[in-house]
Amino acid sequence: MNIAGNPVKFGKDSAVLNNIIFISGYLKLKFNIDFGEALKVTDDEISELLTIVYVDGGYASKDIAEKIFEPVAVKGRGILLASRETSNMELAGMVIIVPPDSKSIVRAKANECEMHLLGVKPVYRKHGLGKSLITNVIDFAEKNKWSKIILWTQRSMLEAQRLYESFGFLKTEEMTKNGVAFFVYERECISQTR
């Protein structure tokens, strides 16, 4: 895959973590994290995960979700990074990395990327999966020498805000999209000068 005429780094050259093991009490969960194509993520799985996280979580109405969570459009935004829980191969979490030349860029400028639709199913939360997905987005952006990562999250998503801030994302402004108020976060990529 090329972005702005430059090859995007995938596979062994990427920082994607393939086997992550989390132990919580007696529950041992193991996740594979890779690009959506490698994990064979289906449209139905994307719809299910986004519905559970955003609609059932009270962050989006079914009407809005049908418009903005349509799987082909979601995948068309950029690069799907996904995670499966290895014992049942269920899609556990996902995020979209939106590269600088994507038509789905909303706030980013030249050589900046966006992170869209980070979601982890409730049953897999509190095991570090969201952190691992964000770590992989940051590593991917730095490996591709993008200067900044931009994201936005609803004002009511306090847990997500704490998570982003723990990675050095700074709240820079507010915006409204589809009638919902969001905080915009940005993080500089440290390898941009390497």
Confirm whether 194 is domain-assigned: no
Position of tokens 């596979």?
11
pLDDT of amino acid 37: 86
pLDDT of amino acid 67: 87
Confirm whether 189 is domain-assigned: no
Confirm whether 106 is domain-assigned: yes
Confirm whether 48 is domain-assigned: yes
Confirm whether 152 is domain-assigned: no
How many helices (H) and strands (E) are present in the chain, helices listed first? 6, 10
Percentage of the chain exceeding pLDDT 70: 84
Domain count for the chain: 1
> Which band of pLDDT confidence, cut at 50, 70 and 90, is reported for residue 10?
very low
| Per-residue pLDDT tens over the stretch 15-50 | 444 454 444 444 567 888 888 888 899 999 999 999
Question: How many Cα atoms sit within 13 Å of 58 on the Cβ side?
Answer: 3
The CATH number of residue 26's host domain is 3.40.630.30
Taking residue 8's Cβ as centre, other Cβ atoms within 10 Å add up to: 17
Residue 36 near residue 82 (C-beta atoms within 8 A): yes
Confirm whether 170 is domain-assigned: no
Looking at the predicted structure, is the pLDDT value of residue 105 above 60?
yes
Q: Report the distance separating Cα 26 and Cα 86, nearest Å.
A: 17
Confirm whether 179 is domain-assigned: no
Q: Is 58 left (phi over 0), alpha (psi -120 to 50) or beta?
A: left
Q: Could you list the residue range(s) of the whole structural domain that residue 34 is in?
A: 2-147
Q: Report the distance separating Cα 16 and Cα 28, nearest Å.
A: 21
Looking at the predicted structure, is the pLDDT value of residue 84 above 90?
yes
| Per-residue pLDDT tens over the stretch 52-80 | 999 999 999 999 888 889 999 999 999 99
Confirm whether 88 is domain-assigned: yes
User: Residue range 162-170: average pLDDT?
Assistant: 97
